[in-house]
């Protein structure tokens, strides 16, 4: 049976991140993507030009409609925008899917700098949703905000992850792509004390829009397939790196990835 992934996130009109990147990623890895859209954004490779939120009760309705009929083998959250939406998502998860792996990508700022999470929603994210997560996947700026720790290297990434584990998730993946250097390091820490550091040469490209959404959705698809967290991460990173290397070079700013590199073309 095809693995089912429910994504709760915002829409990106440019197609490079958000729900659009999530659907492409899950499909390219052989899963079935269902969605609950939390916000509409008007954006392109140059930035976010507008955001229209979806009412929390309608976000919850989208989720329950999917879960009551199609079901889910994993759930991934992205842009949740407001505290009210976060509360609605947490309530549906607890009542309809609390045994389903939950990957929380704490989307706060778009690649072009646009704010995607209201300041008042940060406490709700930490206090309400993070503790329910199988995995949270903050980048360095997000990990600094959520943990209160300054991050300048791997030791700092570890300390931030340890702080975030105290919030209740089963695992934390701190993504090091924002740190300088020719090598990109991602650090996975689990609540049982396991650590996995993954390093690879930096890929020199402007086409990096949607990397966080893509990686989190790829990991969620792996968990839906029954892979371990570590194996899900390894497969997701391999998929993401090829999507970066073969990006189509679209747009004038941070362009989209090649999500379809797994698809055979005639």
Q: What domains lie within the chain, and their CATH numbers?
A: 4-261 (3.40.1190.20)
pTM (2 d.p.): 0.96
pLDDT in tens, 164-176: 999 999 999 999 9
Cα Rg for the chain, rounded, in angstroms? 17
Q: What is the mean pLDDT of residues 112-139?
A: 83
Which residue, among 61, 115, 68, has the nearest Cα to 89 in the 3D structure? 61
Cβ proximity of 240 and 214 under 8 Å: yes
Residue 188 to residues 95, 121, 184, 240, Cα–Cα distance (Å)? 28, 25, 13, 17
pLDDT in tens, 66-104: 999 999 999 999 999 899 999 999 999 999 999 999 999
Q: Percentage of the chain with pLDDT > 70?
A: 97
Which residue, among 215, 214, 156, has the nearest Cα to 189 in the 3D structure? 156
């Amino acid at each position: 049976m095809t693995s089912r992934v429910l994504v709760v996130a915002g829409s990106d009109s440019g197609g490079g991140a958000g729900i659009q990147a999530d659907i492409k990623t899950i499909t390219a890895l052989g899963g079935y993507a269902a969605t609950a859209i939390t916000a509409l954004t008007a954006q392109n490779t140059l930035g976010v030009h507008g955001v229209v939120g979806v009412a929390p009760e309608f976000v919850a309705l989208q989720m329950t409609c999917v879960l009551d009929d199609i079901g889910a083998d994993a759930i991934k959250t992205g842009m949740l925008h407001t505290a009210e939406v976060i509360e609605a998502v947490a309530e549906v998860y607890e009542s309809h899917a609390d045994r389903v792996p939950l990957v929380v990508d704490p989307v706060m700022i778009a690649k072009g700098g646009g704010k995607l999470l209201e300041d008042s929603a940060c406490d709700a994210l930490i206090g309400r949703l993070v503790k329910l997560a199988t995995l949270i996947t903050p980048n360095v700026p997000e990990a600094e905000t959520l943990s209160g720790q300054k991050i300048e290297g791997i030791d700092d990434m570890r300390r931030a992850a340890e702080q975030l584990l105290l919030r209740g998730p089963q695992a934390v993946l701190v993504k090091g792509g924002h740190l300088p250097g020719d090598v990109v390091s991602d650090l996975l820490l689990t609540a049982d004390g396991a650590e996995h550091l993954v390093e690879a040469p930096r890929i020199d490209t402007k086409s990096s829009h949607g990397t966080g959404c893509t990686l989190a959705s790829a990991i969620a698809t792996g968990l839906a397939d029954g892979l371990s967290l570590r194996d899900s991460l390894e497969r997701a990173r391999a998929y993401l790196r090829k999507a970066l290397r073969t990006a189509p070079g679209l747009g004038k700013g941070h362009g989209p990835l090649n999500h379809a590199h797994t698809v055979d073309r005639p």
